[in-house]
Amino acid sequence: MKNIIAYYYQIIPDTIYNKNKNYFFQYGHFDYAFVKCYFDEQQIQKKYELSMYLKEHRFYNHTLVKNKVQRLITMVQNEPYVLLKAQIGLDSPLKLKDILFFSNTSVYQNQFNLLKRDYWDTLWANKIDYFEYQVNQLGRKYPIITESFSYFVGLVENGIAMYHDFYLKNQKLVISHSRIKNDSTLYELYNPLNFILDYQVRDVAEFFKAKFMIKDDIFPDIVEYVSKANLTKYEMVMFFIRMFYPSFYFDLYEEIMDQQKNEEEILQVIDKVPSYEFLLKRLYFYFRQFTKMPDVDWLTEL
């Protein structure tokens, strides 16, 4: 891989670290990552343009480096790769204040329509359809998933129904991220490959869902956030709806299906179902103080 990087980018690193066919090295006081690209030319170009837009407004993010023929994607044995250049030392754990600072950055939406991900109902429905197909095909191999799957699908279906009831067009979108996880760092926050456009509450909701897996009672943390965030009534409802997509279950599900994790690890999620239901009910009554909330019968049963 050294020769490829040298040929396409005129960079000759001393040592390269290989992790799942993604390559990492330091050169000239910067961190570099030569990583697989899961976007087509049009999508990666928009991410590059958004990255440059932020830089023009003095907002740091990693640099997507063009190769010697001025292309963002470099093909290596028929696989697409991109090169990222980043500041050194961005391995600090992600904090809520980092997300809030970032989520105040809005852009002219029409310029980056391709990156919009505010149509949660369609995205969630498509994902669930695909997951259901997988479970039907492979269910016998994964008995724990087979037994628990329909419950978590039911949560998503509640979320989709609420989204249909409350969705409003032409709402403010900000720069958000494909996913915020437990182990996310500042490196992921400033990675333009992760950039999308969505509601301000998306990243915060994902942050709290990830936090739920390592802290039993996150309700006070959410109340503190809402009390300071100056959310609109619509944003409050969207935050609540976002909590109905159990990322902590389906992200782990995908890792299990990709043979990266053992199925037994999903038991830690299943064990927390009663606590999560209680959290959703508390959030329902909390937000109902400020705005009209969706009608979901089981939420009113404390």
Q: What is the pLDDT of residues 42-65, one digit of tens each?
A: 999 999 999 998 898 888 899 999
Q: Where is pLDDT greater, at 80 or 109? A: 80
227 and 286, same structural domain?
yes
77 and 164, same structural domain?
no
Q: What percent of the chain has pLDDT over 90?
A: 74
Which of 7, 192, 220 lies closest to 102, judged by CA?
A: 192
Could you give the C-alpha distances from 155 to 39, 176, 289, in angstroms and in order?
29, 23, 23
By the 8 A CB rule, do 82 and 35 touch? yes
Residue 91 belongs to some domain of the structure: no
Q: How far is CA 104 from the centre of its chain?
A: 17
122 and 45, same structural domain?
no
Full residue range of the structural domain in which residue 260 is found: 96-300
The answer, as to whether pTM is greater than 0.85, is yes
Which of 294, 285, 289 lies closest to 242, judged by CA?
A: 294
129 and 25, same structural domain?
no
213 and 137, same structural domain?
yes
Mean pLDDT of 111-120: 90
Could you read off the pLDDT of 239-266 as tens digits, one per residue? 999 999 999 999 999 999 998 999 999 9
106 and 12, same structural domain?
no
Residue 211 pLDDT class (50, 70, 90 cuts): very high
Burial of 145 (0-12, 13-18, 19+ CB in 10 A): buried
| Residue 106 in this model has a pLDDT that exceeds 70 | no
284 and 223, same structural domain?
yes
103 and 82, same structural domain?
no
Report the mean per-residue pLDDT for the chain. 92
Work out how many domains the chain is built from and give that number. Answer: 2
